[in-house]
Structure 1
Amino acid sequence: MNNLNSICVFCGSSEGNDTHIISQAFLLGEKLAQQEITLVYGAAKIGIMGQVAKGVLEHKGKVIGVIPEFLKLKEVIHQGLSELITTHNMHERKMKMHQLSDGFITLPGGFGTLEELFEIITWSQLGLHQKPIGLLNIGGFYDDLLGLLENMVRRGFLKMENYELLLVDKDMDKLLEKMRAFKPVQVPKWLKPDRT
């Protein structure tokens, strides 16, 4: 059973045009606060990112924002965070988010959200961490992406055990249950059992 004291949420700095996604992002924040799970995220008060943080903070939860120095000029930083950490660059930002988190959840977003999801799942595939990675598939937002991943498995570019590193559900309670029950693959892709 995984102890989820903190969860990093990857999601859009835009709100998009689907009110259901916006309300679900706020609800996820509310649930994290109720379960005393610290939110680690990209520090913005705008977009889906802002909705998750708002959900946590309005229900007296803890939020840690992590942002690179250069984005402070471009993104609207949330001023009411429990803690704000500034990094030198994007890579350092992702490393810090990883260090602070017991697991990861991806909500709808754009290129940046996908980049964060795929980097963290690649790190897991390579054995660099064994933390649960969840995808909250709100309103079928990620159906096409999941179809692409299944095609990668069918065509031999992705092993089923690595595909299964991504925990998927449309229900956030069920997703959190899957994350708590997650058992990582013991042997990293590029290492043989006799190597460390």
Structure 2
Amino acid sequence: MIYPKTLEEAVSKARGFFPLRTRTCFGTVHWWRGRIDQQRTYAAAAESGISQSTRVDLISAMQKRGPRQSNVQQQNAHVERSLHAEASYWRQHGLPPILARVGVERGVQWEKSIVIELSVDFPGMPSIFGELVTQDQRFIAFEIDTMGEVRVERWADVTNVQNLSEQNRGTGVGRGALALRVLRDLNA
């Protein structure tokens, strides 16, 4: 069997499967990519004068992969890190002025509140939309249209639909509880 030399060549060979078998196409591309990486590693090892036994160790180490799925604690840590990163970003770089003004008008103290999700100018949606946690640990979903006249399309308390549980079977800590942890951490 002759293996392609580049990823583009592998993709062009796999493209014939695309309309009928999407899964096979992507699996084939990943398989080719792994094979190409393996061939490049063999070539680099041979050129650098590494012994055969070291080459085998190098390849076996390259093929060992971590777990394909994260456990519940790892998933929770990932969600908490992403919420923390989002909240920290908006605290450090400042909020869009319109959101800051609308929040202050509605009693939000921005120095004690965090934005856990914010999208700006997404096609087909209001100009600013997302979710925040206020100083009194209330979750607010908002949509603000800034085209022409500033119009608040939605400012709703969605605390009741948040998962605030610290222990959920199979999923660990709820997203709402993680957001409250981030709020406490950033306000400390």
With CA pairs under 8 Å and 6+ residues apart, which has the higher RCO, 1 or 2? 1
For the criterion TM > 0.5, the same-fold answer is no
Normalised TM-score (structure 2): 0.22
TM-score (norm: length of structure 1): 0.21
Q: Specify which structure has the higher proportion of helix.
A: 2
Bigger Cα Rg: 2
